[in-house]
Amino acid sequence: MTLWVFGYGSLLWNPGFEVIEQVPARLSGYRRSFCMRSIHHRGTPEEPGLVLALDASDEAHCDGLALAAAPDQSEAVLAYLRERELVSAAYLERLLPLALEDGRDVTALVYVIDPDHVQYCALELEEQAQIIAQAVGGRGPNSEYLYNTSTHLETLGLPDAELQWLDKRVRELTA
């Protein structure tokens, strides 16, 4: 059986596993948001950065990519993703329905934010920009994460208005 994974942030540009098929997809009931404080990859415990997460919202949807792993690699991909995404237990692993752009419906592995976790936050866009412009973690500058994600979404024809605004504002702040 094919393991489908929903990419909405860094999985778009750095899945970390061999993708045998990728299809634009929509996840209903969640919105993409910089609502997770990053204390490992894009910040530190002393100076947290922000990373994207899927925040539950009844009226929302998130456009991204459905990424298919080779069936014989499913267990290895799952182990890899758990090590990568569940490093601080702020994400919850879910199997959720995705509507693929080509008309198919699949069930995909999705990482959503735990709103009760200490790393969860709900910040205004300007505050997000201020944090992203300064934070640096084990995987590099927080701004790099924003720029890569925003650029890939635009290239895929899936622009995100909030990320576009943040991209522009963070570039202003770091100029």
How far apart CA 145 and CA 154 sit, in angstroms, is 14
3-state DSSP call for residue 48?
Answer: coil
The catalytic position among 18, 21, 46, 85 is 85
Is 83 catalytic? The answer is no
The encoded tokens of residue 54 equal: 């899927």
How far apart CA 39 and CA 119 sit, in angstroms, is 8
- Give the closest residue to 98 by CA, choosing from 55, 53, 48, 62: 62
How far apart CA 76 and CA 91 sit, in angstroms, is 19
Beta strands in 114-166 (DSSP E): 136-137, 140-141
Q: Give residue for tokens 């570039």.
A: 171
The encoded tokens of residue 144 equal: 């790099």
Compute the half-sphere exposure of residue 92: CA atoms within 13 Å on the CB side of its CA.
13
- Give the closest residue to 18 by CA, choosing from 2, 39, 30: 2
Which residues are identified as catalytic? Answer: 85
